[in-house]
Structure 1
Amino acid sequence: MTKPPFSPDGDTSQPADERGFFAGQQPKRAGAAIAAVQQDDAHYHGHRDRLRTRYREHGDTALADYEILELLLFRLIPRRDTKPIAKALLERFGTLAGVFGASPALLQEVKGIGEAVAFDLKLISTVTHRTLKSGLKGKQVLASWSSVIDYCHAAMAHETREQFRILFLDKRNALIADEVQQTGTIDHTPVYPREVVKRALELSATALILVHNHPSGDPAPSRADIEMTRLIVDIAKPLEITVHDHIIIGKDGHASLKSLRLI
């Protein structure tokens, strides 16, 4: 005797529709999935609220570096747990300065960072650089030396290639122009002393501060750095252009050829 098809409601008098049976299970599964998502949403939204409250009430000293970065990423990545991404960025680049100094291509190597987020992080970095630079305008640079160092460090410390930058000053030692004259390789930048002095004359600058970075991280001047600086000094001096200093920027510090009595 042939048994009738199984019916999910226990009634074997009518043939059961298998599609109806499985369709009846789908709302239960979908409901469980939705509940799980809602629980996850509640968790990270609660976490975000707690971080915001801590920052609002106690300031940045109440948060670790990864939490500061996480707080920023909340806005850039709205519906995702950003703590693992913040920690991965710091693990990859070492410090907040390293994160914001990294190129968009390197940032995108970190899981969770796409093109748009990398762009936004670099935009924030640019705003920081411009803010520091604006603090030098209209001021006697030599009287704001710590601001000069802060600006140069923010602008150059995490560059992956050497840059040669010149700060051109007027008779009051106020900033006329800030220019990157050359960009080289990881350990060398070609510098042409006569071109340096020529540009100073074009801008009617009467003083210079030379700056370049060492991507290796060690700001100690090389023999070539010293010789090149002295050559610029010798060419500029008869034209009454003073070279105040040559600063070398490393990841964790800087060297001043003037302080080292090398010029």
Structure 2
Amino acid sequence: MESLNKSEEAPKRKQLTPLEKRFLQYGLKDFSDPEMIELLLCHALPCKEGEKLTKEVAKRYQTLRQFLAAPEEELKQIPGMTPRCILYIKLMQTVPEISLREEIVGKSAYKEPQEVFDYLYLSMRDLKKEILKVIYLDDRNQIIDIEDLFKGGLDGIHIYPREIQEGAIKHKATGLIFVHNHPSGDCTPSQNDRQITRDLVFIGKVLQIKVLDHIIIGDNKYFSFADAGLIEKYEDDFLNLRLRKKLVIAKDYK
């Protein structure tokens, strides 16, 4: 790791700032977004520089959430932003996500639905591009692992049964839940979302792996294909398709 120059060294001070004292006494209650940003930045910079940088940040971002979700390349364009500041910001993004993930792995996806949603929402809400995740479940619907399956828009996505099968075998999973985000914040499924979900259910049927749901994450809300009755409908479509094929084969043999 490259050594930091003096301006990038962590501030060394014995006295707490007024904001730090207030935080220790009352937590973040009644803190404004700029005050929370200043509290964060003053851990990476001397206070005067932290206050100055907070003003620069306020020119670009309306809320703490927008600031924490900003890409690294964007942060580098802010005057006074140092590598140490960016490190602190990335830690603030990553640590809560890891903590929530550890909370849900090993638990039932259905007994702790709010915890599962909290993790998915935190990890996907501010993404600029769509990501398709897969949650691997055991025969008791407990979460084994969560992985990113595909990054980028779902339009034109090619779903390969082998990848799904290999992931399920690797994790010894008997059930799958697929999750993707809508960067627009609107979780209404598109026609393409519906077709992909139908394809995933069909692939699961062929591989004898249960596809339990496909969830779309929006802005503090979600859409569940299972809750909407669509997973069951696609399963029926598959069975009807197989039945029709059997009838055609039987007719050909007459």
* Range of TM-score over shorter length: 0.7 to 0.9
Whole-Å separation in 2 of the counterparts to 1:225 and 1:143: 26
Given the alignment, which residue of 52, 55, 60 partners 1:92? 60
CA contact (8 A) 1:216 1:250 kept: yes
Instruction: Identify which range, 213-222 or 233-242, moves more after superposition.
Output: 233-242
Separation in 2 of the partners of 1:219 and 1:112?
38
Query: What's the counterpart of residue 255 of structure 1?
Result: 223
Picking from 28, 31, 36, the partner of 1:68 is 36
Extract unaligned runs of 5+ from structure 1.
1-44
Aligned residue type for 1:162: E
Post-superposition offset of 1:239: 4.0
More divergent stretch after superposition (74-83 vs 217-226): 74-83
2:113 maps to 1:152: no
Q: Percent identity at matched positions?
A: 32
Distance 2:156 2:40 in 1: 35
> Which of 111-120 and 67-76 deviates more?
111-120
- SS at 2:46 equivalent: coil
Partner of 1:204: 172
Shift of 1:141: 2.0
The amino acid across from 1:192 in the alignment is I
Deviations 1:5-44 (A, max 9, x none): xxxxxxxxxxxxxxxxxxxxxxxxxxxxxxxxxxxxxxxx
User: What is the alpha-carbon root mean square deviation over aligned residues?
Assistant: 2.5
- Give aligned pairs, total: 217
Structure 2 CA distance, aligned partners of 1:151 and 1:228?
23
Q: Which amino acid aligns with 1:220?
A: T
Residues of 1 paired with 2:39 and 2:111: CA distance? 36
Match of 1:190 in 2: 157
Map 1:17-56 onto structure 2 (within 5 A). Answer: 49-56=17-24
135-144 or 80-89, which moves further after superposition?
80-89
Q: 1:168 to 1:114 in 2, by over 3 A?
A: same
SS at match of 2:43: helix
Kept in 1: contact 2:181–2:218 (CA 8 A): yes
Corresponding residue number in structure 1 for 2:197: 229
Cα deviation code 1:163-205 (max 9, x no counterpart): 11111111122221211111115x7472515132442233221
CA distance in 1, matches of 2:33, 2:156: 33
- Supply the AA of the counterpart residue of 1:155: S
Say which one has the larger Rg: 1
Report the secondary structure of 2:95's partner residue. helix
Among candidates 116, 122, 130, match of residue 98 of structure 2? 130
Distance in 2 of aligned mates of 1:94 and 1:232 = 39
Deviation, 1:149, is 1.1
Alignment TM-score, normalising by the size of structure 2? 0.75
CA distance in 2, matches of 1:238, 1:196: 11
- Any stretches of 5+ residues in structure 2 without a counterpart? 1-13, 232-254
Matched residue SS, 1:60: coil
Instruction: Show the counterpart of 2:148.
Output: 180
| Structure showing greater relative contact order (alpha-carbon pairs closer than 8 Å, 6 or more residues apart) | 2
* CA displacement, residues 211-231 of structure 1 (integer Å, 9 cap, x when unaligned): 111222322211111111111
TM-score (norm 1): 0.73
Task: Note the C-alpha offset of 1:126.
Answer: 1.4
Q: Secondary structure at the match of 2:98?
A: helix
1:163 pairs with 2:163: no
Distance 1:216 1:188, change over 3 A: farther
Q: Secondary structure at the match of 1:146?
A: helix
Change beyond 3 A, Cα 1:52–1:134? same
**Partner of residue 220, structure 1:** 188
**Equivalent residue letter for 1:61:** K
Structure 2 residue matching 1:69: 3-state secondary structure: helix
Name the SS of the counterpart of 1:141 in structure 2.
coil
8 Å Cα contact 1:166/1:181 also seen in 2: yes
Q: Partner amino acid for 1:213? A: N
Question: Secondary structure at the residue paired with 1:120?
Answer: helix
